[in-house]
Amino acid sequence: MEPVFTPPRRYTVEEYFALEEVSEQRHEYFEGEVYAMSGATSRHNLIAQNCAFALRQGVRGKGCKVFLEGVQLAVQTNQYYTYPDVMVTCHPDDIEAERTMHHPVLIIEILSPSTADHDRSWKFNQYKRLPSLQHYLLVSQHTCLVEWFRREPSGVWSFTPLGELTDTLELPELAITLRVADIYDEIDIAPMRAQPPTEL
């Protein structure tokens, strides 16, 4: 007898919001389906704190706010909701919002082996739909590497890998400079090493 396929339950946005109000675990929402988000390692958490602290120090008094992973982002209203590890917004509507942000200038995701490909490809393609987004950072937990994607005036996204603690990111929209050393403050991080060429 052939097994019967049971399609995943589909939720309305209202049902999803109600779930998030009472759930102890955060969930992503994409086109009616809900996905539980896994917990973070201590290293992941410390890096996120470092990013948020450095950014908050830089934007203090500039009308912007820095949020950690417990604050929701509407990537596409009624379609896709998630929780970035760190985000910065300066939009008046977001500043007044209670739960869900819509206009981030900067998003940071801290990579893990299970999420790296997803964050670098599918999720980034979703984030690109946000007109406000100017900077997307992918931060490695295990080696000194920050992958910096930046929206140029032409609308094209440029890519700059930063592999030294002395490297810096200039964020003109926030009028701040973010140091790689601050991202990895008090983290025992391995330096980036060039890989030897593979034999043909």
- Give, in degrees to the nearest 5, the angle at Cα 52 between 54 and 23: 170
- Which range marks the domain in which residue 177 is found? 41-183
The Cα 47–Cα 53 span in angstroms is 10
195 domain residue, yes or no: no
4 domain residue, yes or no: no
Give tens-digit pLDDT for 31-44.
Answer: 999 998 877 789 99
Decide if 22 contacts 15 (C-beta within 8 A): no
Written as six digits, the tokens of 182 are 């601050």
74 domain residue, yes or no: yes
Residues 6+ apart with CB under 8 A from 54: 178, 179, 182, 183, 185
Residue 197 has pLDDT above 70, yes or no: no
159 domain residue, yes or no: yes
> What is the domain count for the chain?
1
Written as six digits, the tokens of 91 are 């939009």
Decide if 85 contacts 106 (C-beta within 8 A): no
Count of residues for the chain? 200
Give tens-digit pLDDT for 118-166.
Answer: 899 999 999 999 999 999 999 999 999 999 999 999 999 999 999 999 9
Judge residue 73's burial from the number of C-beta atoms within 10 Å of its C-beta, 0-12 exposed, 13-18 middle, 19 or more buried. Answer: buried
Q: To which residue do tokens 């910065």 refer?
A: 88
CATH code of the domain containing 164: 3.90.1570.10
pLDDT of residue 194: 56
pTM of the model: 0.90
11 domain residue, yes or no: no
Q: Is the dihedral of CA 100, 102, 107, 112 positive or negative?
A: positive
The Cα 171–Cα 55 span in angstroms is 10
